[in-house]
Amino acid sequence: MSSPVVAGVVGLLASQGRSNVEARERIEATATDLGRRGKDAAFGHGRVDAAAAVGARPRNTPPKVASFRPRPGASLRGNQVRIVAVVRDRETDLTRRNISLVVDGRRVGFRYNAANDRLVQVIRVRPGNHRVRIVVRDGWGLSDSRLWRFSTARR
């Protein structure tokens, strides 16, 4: 069923004066990646994004969770842990509603500064192993998540 969609987009790109090679490159470059990252046997280059291909709107990219702390596998002392992460999206202004923070299976509140894309929360934990998961979903429904573990011990 993708053939009629691709043919229609190629027609729109041809009306803009693009060659068949340029049209193919444009469709592949603006497709929404599905399945494994990059081209794969099941989904090819992904789902055709006709609006992005013809320039009606910019191509959307998923939000990212990066620079998180404590570092994965870290061993910390004490029962207070400062969780920090950079959570950003190039096309969308994120708010707290777009983000969730889960520590040891329990949803936790946090502060989010949209000016510097920084999530911060200080939590109290018991000695032992802990799991942190941050999930961010933008307005287009694209998402990213990070799951990592750290441990704490008594002072």
For residue 74, CA distances in Å to 77, 107, 132 come to 10, 21, 12
Q: Is the pLDDT of residue 116 over 80?
A: yes
Q: What percent of the chain has pLDDT over 70?
A: 97
Q: What percent of the chain has pLDDT over 90?
A: 53
Instruction: List the domain boundaries for the chain.
Output: 2-54, 64-153
Q: Is the pLDDT of residue 57 over 70?
A: no
For residue 97, CA distances in Å to 83, 139, 149 come to 18, 10, 24
Q: What secondary structure letter does DSSP report for 72?
A: T
- At 146, the pLDDT band (50, 70, 90 cuts) reads very high
Domain 64-153 belongs to what topology? Answer: Immunoglobulin-like (2.60.40)
> Which of the given ranges, 30-39, 41-50, 121-130, has the highest pLDDT on average?
121-130
pTM: 0.64
